[in-house]
Chain A
Amino acid sequence: MALPINYSLRNALVRWRSTLATVLGIALVVFVFVLLQSLAAGIERSSANTGDPRNLLVVRKGSTAESASLITRQTLTEIRYFEEIARNEKGEPIISADVLALVNLPRRERGGEANVLLRGVTPRGIELRPQVGLVAGRWFVPGKRELVVSAKLAKRFDHFDLGDTVHTGSGQFTVVGWLAAGGSAFDSECWLDADECRSTFDRDMYSSFLVRPVDEAAGERLIQRIETDRRFKLKVEKEVEYYRKQTMTAAPIKWLGGFLAVMMSVGAVFAAMNTMYAAVGARTREIGTLRVLGFRRRAVVTALLVEGAFLAFFGGMIGCALAFYWNGYTTATMGFETFSEIVFEFRVTPKFVAEGLGFAVAVGLIGTLLPAIRAARLPVIDALKSI
């Protein structure tokens, strides 16, 4: 038979001053855990969420990233009219030859400089990426040296407001629009006309092709056809697949999050244990009284465990609330592939909150177990006689 839940709950609350340190310790553990998982989720989403499942991305064989790939213009003319490639209403093949360039640009508020990835695209390239849309201004007009920047990057870089002029090594561009890409990798890019990009950065070659095959089977044939042709030396894979592989960068953060959480929770368990030893020690006679009234050892242990779980749960709630404060907060990291600024949002999902709270409760239960058992094992008469 159990003691009322109120007994555990109120005891957890009534001594909040003496338990505050422990509660905050647990809050910190949960905060770090949830925040780092949210960070990893944000990074994962920025790559995993990128691309259209129907598209194929063509890069040079052996290049690890699109930005490091080079494909000759000759290749475009040869591949362009392959019958496996779909056509639009006007009969044009749906293929975009993109030119990628990294430029070093000043951050806002004298925050130093960072690399930004510029993507030269054709109108097909925009059609092939329905994730990308304008949130302000308009698209660039080829030939007018215009630039559309990511709205998220715009908050971080100088001269990224509409109408501003961006100076790159060999030229300058006017910002005419802000793009948003639903948290995908394109949110870390600035787009301009492909030919302008080539001429500005003195490139003779393209970086990649993005292709829409007629259908799935045609896609398979296209991969075969391009990859087996020894003249091209190209690699073809699904666009979504390419970006999913870039997700690898989030693994160390997840690992770090787990590691930190485990290390810190060991400390938190001892803190909880300390608190509960004190809490239970101060209530020895009360526990003796409960047992005189007829409550069994197990009922006492259970009530104390519930109390410890409550304490930890409060800590967990505080930790989650702190972490949730960062939900949707956009920040950036340096991409390991392009060394350019990659923006992403912290994504505090219900799953992480549940995991964080579960984590906290586990810490509370483990920390309470020994003090609870010790208290319940004391003979009734000794418990009663304690001051």
Chain B
Amino acid sequence: MAAPDNIVTIRNLSKIYLQGEINVTALDNISLDIAAGEFLALLGPSGSGISTVLHIIAGIDRPTSGECHVQGIDVARLNESQLADWRNQNVGFVFQTFNLIPVLTAFENVELPLLLTRLTRRARRRQVETALELVGLADRAKHLPKQLSGGQEQRVAIARALVTDPALVVADEPTGNLDSHSAQEVLGVLRALSQDAGKTVIMVTHDPKAAAFGSRQIHLEKGELTK
């Protein structure tokens, strides 16, 4: 089934939410392959189901039917604690709303996922510093999120997503809350992740201009692939 250079293989994936008495079909029988190292932009209008795809790939949500393999693993078959470990080791997540922990500094936020590894304090420090340098915020390590601009917050969030050196970085409308200048910066960092660091980056967006940064664009509408 999965071609060796495909990091994500999606087959006949459906997601149906039960809202009261009505079934809401968020994803309708989707099949999709994502190659290792590509920067895929999932483009679609609001409510099209793009976030749902991303959540299922990242092991945050479960499909109603169909399969989603990531690096050959059927993510839906993992139990809650296995999923937690799997996410920690394999996926970096970037949110539209940044989701930094307000009481922790930039450094501490980026360090969080590393606290679940066996790394020593020194190794953690080195990795956090490298990640912060990569997003150009080494000098903001001691700042709290509220002392940073939106664009800086999102770059810290990207540093947090890549600090564990995961194969996959997923971003759900990462520029949705940013001005166009900050958005350019953030998109540049994501593109560099794929082009220079060889990461697979999957980005969900409503914005065609943002999607243009991707190496490939896929359109979703009403839970179905259109292109």
Contacts and interface: CB of A to CB of B under 8 A. Distances in A.
Given A381-B55, A381-B60, A384-B60, A289 B101 contact: yes
Contact of B99 (A1, A285, A296): A285
A380 interface: yes
Interface string A286-309: 100111111111000000000000
Interface stretch (A3-11, A20-28, A68-76, A181-189): A3-11
B55 A296 contact: no
A14 interface: yes
Interface in B95-138: 95, 97, 99, 101-104, 108, 112-113, 115-116
9 nearest CB pairs, A to B: A294-B88, A10-B103, A289-B99, A381-B61, A1-B116, A293-B113, A294-B116, A296-B84, A294-B84
B103 A292 contact: no
B61 A286 contact: no
Interface in B172-202: none
Contact of B85 (A4, A14, A294, A381): A294
A1 B115 contact: yes
B19 interface: no
Contacts of A293: 87-88, 93, 112-113, 116, 160
A380 B115 contact: no
A284 to B, nearest CB: 12
Nearest to A387: B97
B60 A7 contact: no
Contacts of A4: 104, 108, 115
Contacts of A14: 102-103
A293 B112 CA distance: 8
Interface of A: 1-4, 6-7, 10-11, 14, 285-286, 289-297, 380-381, 384
A3 B84 contact: no
Nearest to B87: A294
B80 interface: yes
Given A4-B104, A6-B103, 17 more contacts: A2-B115, A3-B112, A4-B115, A6-B104, A7-B103, A10-B103, A289-B99, A291-B84, A292-B87, A293-B87, A293-B113, A294-B85, A294-B89, A296-B80, A296-B84, A381-B55, A384-B95
9 contacts: A6-B108, A7-B104, A10-B103, A11-B103, A286-B101, A289-B95, A295-B84, A296-B80, A296-B81
B68 to A, nearest CB: 14
Nearest to A13: B103
A7 to B, nearest CB: 6
A287 to B, nearest CB: 10
Most central of B88, B101, B102 by chain A CB within 10 Å: B101
Contacts of A294: 84-85, 87-89, 113, 116
B115 to A, nearest CB: 6
Nearest to A289: B99
Given A7-B103, A7-B104, A286-B99, A292 B60 contact: yes
